[in-house]
Copies of this chain bind each other. A is one copy, B any other.
């Protein structure tokens, strides 16, 4: 055994056999933001055989406060996160086969990548992509580990097809306007805490120690010194369309997806979310205003200045992003605010 992994092999939960199993595995990480860069670093250092990481954004100055693979140089070079992550991960461990995909984690992409993947790590910033991961997980029988954080608050839950409830059992529908790091802020210890939980579960699954995998839903608040773990035995929902008997994998269906369209000749992208429903414009205006965004509105719509772009949000959750023709970029802006 390589000296490199000696301290991990010493740990009885892993051992030589476990290290060889880790070496034989392929992990797909969706997102290379705070959680994604942290998970990717832990798993790269641990010696996972292959890691594929997918992200649609580039490195921005406001990322540096918590996204651990990136430096000031990456911001200056406006590097795509997946590319900047790949560069650093290779310098950390040249044994690991890293594949970086610069793009949106669409159902098509994830279904295409599914073959041969042993585990998916959730590091996305929105529930729509998580629901797609959840359906891909059920359809191709790949475990995945949910993780999310805002402020000093965070949570994690391990989802194993055929064994645990799935995310759609717990939520039943995509929450509209979930808290995001762009609306609630974030401190990096909360990120580290989620990563600690997600990667511990990942190692257990990679060494196939299924007995040790956590069955509870963990949530914590580091500023308020709270920590709870909920038993989930009653959470499985028989009628679940993602994991139940009459499953349809609804989030792999084109109908249930955020639609983005370039509005011809107007340098504007229209966003139509999958979960149409009432957005409280008044509350959102108050919230964004108190965060320092410039907001104007009337009872029918809200207009928010966002750097070079301007977003107009309607009551039904539809939005126009003015100042761009880039569909992926526009969706990214939308999901940063509306989750």
Contact = CB atoms under 8 A, between A and B. Distances in A.
Interface of A: 3-14, 38, 41-42, 45-47, 61-62, 64-66, 68, 71-73, 91-94, 151-152, 181-190, 192-193, 195-197, 199-200, 203-204, 212, 214, 216, 222-225, 227, 229, 291
Contacts of A188: 8, 42, 45-46, 199
Given A71-B92, A200-B222, A62 B7 contact: yes
Identical chains bound together, number: 2
A42 B10 CA distance: 27
Given A151-B13, A192-B196, A65 B8 contact: yes
- Name the prevailing secondary structure of the A interface residues: helix
16 contacts: A7-B185, A8-B66, A11-B185, A13-B151, A13-B152, A14-B187, A45-B65, A45-B188, A68-B68, A72-B91, A189-B195, A192-B196, A196-B222, A200-B222, A214-B225, A216-B225
Nearest to A42: B188
Nearest to A60: B3
A234 to B, nearest CB: 19
A199 B203 contact: no
A111 to B, nearest CB: 30
Most chain B beta carbons < 10 A, residue from A190, A200, A216: A200
B192 A66 contact: no
B187 A65 contact: no
Contacts of A222: 196-197, 200
Contacts of A197: 189, 193, 222
B62 A4 contact: yes
A146 to B, nearest CB: 16
Q: Which 6 A-B pairs have the closest CB atoms?
A: A10-B185, A11-B185, A193-B196, A189-B200, A200-B222, A192-B196
Given A71-B91, A227-B229, 15 more contacts: A3-B61, A4-B64, A6-B62, A7-B185, A10-B185, A11-B152, A11-B186, A42-B189, A64-B93, A152-B200, A188-B199, A189-B196, A192-B195, A212-B224, A214-B225
